[in-house]
Amino acid sequence: MINYANKIAEELSLKPHFVEKTIQLLDEGGTVPFISRYRKEVTGSMDEVQVADVRDRVTQLREIDKRREAILKSIDEQGKLTPELERKIREVETMTSLEDLYLPYKPKRKTRASVAKERGLEPLATMLWTQQSFDVINKAQTFVNKEKEVASVEEALQGARDIMAEWVSEDAEIRKKIRKLFLAEGIVKSKLLKSKEAEAAKYKDYFEWEEPLKAIPSHRLLAIRRGEKEGFLSMEIQPPEESGIDIIRRQLLKSNNEASDQVDLSLVDAYKRLIKPSMETEVRLSSKKKADQDAIHVFAENLKQLLMAPPLGQKSILAIDPGFRTGCKVVCLDKQGKLLYHTAIYPNEPQKDISGAGSKIKELVTTYQVEAIAIGNGTAGRETEQFVKGLGLPSDILVVQVNESGASIYSASEAAREEFGDYDLTVRGAVSIGRRMLDPLAELVKIDPKSIGVGQYQHDVDQLHLKESLDDVVMSCVNHVGVELNTASKQLLTYVSGLGPQLAENIVNHRNQVGPFKKRDDLKAIPRLGDKAFEQAAGFLRINGAANVLDQSAVHPERYETVNQMAKDLGCNVKDLVKDDHLRKSINLNKYITDNLGLPTLRDIIEELAKPGRDPRAAFEVFSFSDQVHEMSDLKTGMKLPGIVTNITKFGAFVDIGVHQDGLVHISHLSDGFVSDPASTVKLQQKVQVTVMEVDVQRKRISLSMKSDPFGKPKPGKKQSEPENDGDLQAKLAMLKGKFKS
């Protein structure tokens, strides 16, 4: 087996020994959360990002080597594999370079060059290629052969030029240089397709657009590609044509005679007919891949922040899915999120039964000892919030608007049908809203991340890569927080390291049939849950109230013996270690170091004993919108309002200010200083103060600012963020259009 450790270590600035051991752990079925949390001695304390980078890179290198061997076999079977060619193929390190070398030997459909070769014109091409001085016309005349369909000197020369053009287009060095030209000097151009102006109004900024490929932001490239896909725009990526032809001439044109004139014609033809279209296709794919990576990175970061949002914790909840004509669906949930009661009230237009609805809410608050009220932020959300806050409920009852994006997706999902098969979709949606306040992570894992509304062009990017990245994020968050084994849903358990859908279902079935788990070792009775799955999962599963306090913690069962020995050496028990900080500090960790247990894990154990099973998420904070505004029509330029960040993109951040339409804080208005990346300045769900800059009710556009003096002049010496340009408009509109509101 090829050892990739040295190469990966060099690329990622890691030590080869640790990379090699990490690859071994991954090959043995280790997950990224498990390896980074419980194998720090083996990996040199790599974090999750580093372990994932090693995993992804070794997968990529193996794919390249698999392709390399297939190419060598193909060329060898053709009898064309020379020692020099084999050396070149084995030395290249990228898939692109590998395919360039294979191109001349790749089986092809019929081409102009292959037809010319069949007509016996390759010797003529070879003679011309030398660019020596000879009578080209007389030599070409000898290749005229009507039986071979070469009727004239010009046809003979044309066939020879076709062959030479293919040689040029398959030259790996030429392709490398032209590729570099496309990436360095390529211009992205988009144009409106004829007779599409009315339909393509949302892409108006791109009817006549030009921008260097190396400078175009990912969101703009994806917007243009979407316009092209929808049949409104044409798009091309081209460097100056003469630059490409000059590169080839400098490389291959050697003389100034009749033969070199023919070669020159073939070079121009090679670039225009073969290399340019091929390279444009390649660069379109590579630029799309890069734009996808940027968009997926933004989505993944947003999703992580959303999943790690502070939970309210175990409280009795009354949740409301607001509405107008169809009323507001109301559910009452216990501290674990179990549905206790559901009904409907009609406090808003057109019924406006404020008295009846108010009486019902007060009754439910008393009956179910409600501690917090969660209200969806969709249609009628602000009106319903205002109604509830006007009921004079006890001041210790929290009233909070909850982001309901994707709640309707959950309502119609298989997970919702399994849990609430006898209930209406609207009841399921209200339950989801309430549970999101109790524990956002536990509830949001039930929804396809693409439906949560925190992505950028998520439907335009590589769907497999998107899914893999988002699954990584969900798994990371779930295992970082830990999962309560006796209450977790099947969907939540699915993301626990080492489990997956089938084992998660087996755990839930066992729990329903046998009763709650009393200790982690009970997991070994689960069908198909073997030693490897137990090793990977156990440390991330918690059993609150377990007799062994370590079963409530992130200490892995494989380290219980070490902790017990620590307690024994101090003449106490493990519970004493948890309670007494002085006892923990008196432990000499060096005493417990072994060949496979070092200080990094020992320090983790001591830290965990201080607060077993602690939740790493921040504390819950109540947020309220301004009572001055409820609709876009209430907004006035210059208003300063509280808001909450709902989405972060490369060109700015979207902020909910409570008017049913998120506003955009462009990157140039995120701060008084320069901002290169919005994600470095704001976080999802962050509470912010914004100033209203502009309101366009007709187009549902709100422009906001987070600058201290948004209407003032830039401060001297302060570098400002990139000013907004027309090209960002389409990206913003596409984001607003694509943003899901249930």
- Predicted confidence at residue 2, as pLDDT, reads 65
Would you state the pLDDT for residue 3?
Answer: 78
Give the integer Cα–Cα distance in Å for 491 and 370: 27
Q: Where in the chain is the domain with CATH 1.10.3500.10?
A: 152-299
Q: Cα 407 vs. chain centroid, distance in angstroms? A: 21
- Which CATH entry fits the domain spanning 5-105: 3.40.50.1370, 1.10.10.650, 3.40.190.10, 3.90.79.10? 1.10.10.650
DSSP 237: E
* Gap between the Cα atoms of 63 and 57, Å rounded: 10
- Write down the pLDDT at residue 723: 44
Q: Give the pLDDT mean for 415-437.
A: 91
**Predicted pLDDT of residue 453:** 67
Q: How much is the average pLDDT of 296-313?
A: 91
pLDDT digits (tens, 9 = 90+) for 18-67: 999 999 999 999 999 999 999 999 999 999 999 999 999 999 999 999 99
Q: Where in the chain is the domain with CATH 2.40.50.140?
A: 632-738
Q: Is the pLDDT of residue 481 over 90?
A: yes
Average pLDDT over residues 602-627: 90
Q: What is the pLDDT of residues 57-98, one digit of tens each?
A: 999 999 999 999 999 999 999 999 999 999 999 999 999 999
Sheet architecture: strand order including 187-192: 208-212, 187-192, 233-238
* Residues carrying CATH 1.10.10.650, the chain: 5-105
CATH of region 152-299: 1.10.3500.10
CA-nearest of 466, 396, 477, 476 to 439 is 477
Residue 650's pLDDT is 85
- For the chain, helix, strand, coil in percent to 5 are 55, 10, 35
Question: For residue 13, what are its two tokens?
Answer: 């600035």
Residue of 51, 49, 62, 4 whose CA lies nearest to 25: 51
pLDDT confidence of residue 631:
87
Tell how far CA 535 is from the center of its chain.
Answer: 28
pLDDT confidence tier of residue 451, bands split at 50, 70 and 90: confident
Least confident interval from 211-220, 257-266, 388-397, 416-425? 416-425
How far apart are alpha carbons 481 and 603 in whole angstroms?
19
pLDDT at 513 over 80: yes
- Segments of the chain assigned to CATH 3.30.420.140: 317-438
SS3 363: helix
pLDDT above 90 coverage of the chain, percent: 78
**233-238 and 640-649 strand pairing:** unpaired
CATH number of 632-738: 2.40.50.140
Q: Is the pLDDT of residue 697 over 60?
A: yes
- The 10s digit of each residue's pLDDT in 334-353 is 999 999 999 999 999 999 99
> Torsion angle, CA of 711/668/642/299, rounded to 10 degrees?
170
Q: 479 and 36 in contact (C-beta within 8 Å)?
A: no
What is this structure's pTM?
0.83
Smallest Cα–Cα separation from 29: which of 542, 596, 535?
Answer: 535
Contact between residue 668 and residue 684 where contact means Cβ atoms under 8 Å apart: no
Q: Is 362 exposed, middle or buried (0-12, 13-18, 19+ CB in 10 A)?
A: middle
| 590 burial via Cβ count (<10 Å: 0-12, 13-18, 19+) | exposed
- What does the mean pLDDT of the chain come to? 91
Mean pLDDT of 450-472: 82
Alpha carbon distance 489, 502 (integer Å): 13
- Proportion of the chain above pLDDT 70, given as a percent: 95
Fold of 317-438: Nucleotidyltransferase; domain 5 (3.30.420)
Q: Are 538 and 485 in contact (CB under 8 A)?
A: no
Return the number of other C-beta atoms located less than 10 Å from residue 43's C-beta.
23
Whether the predicted pLDDT of 740 surpasses 50: no
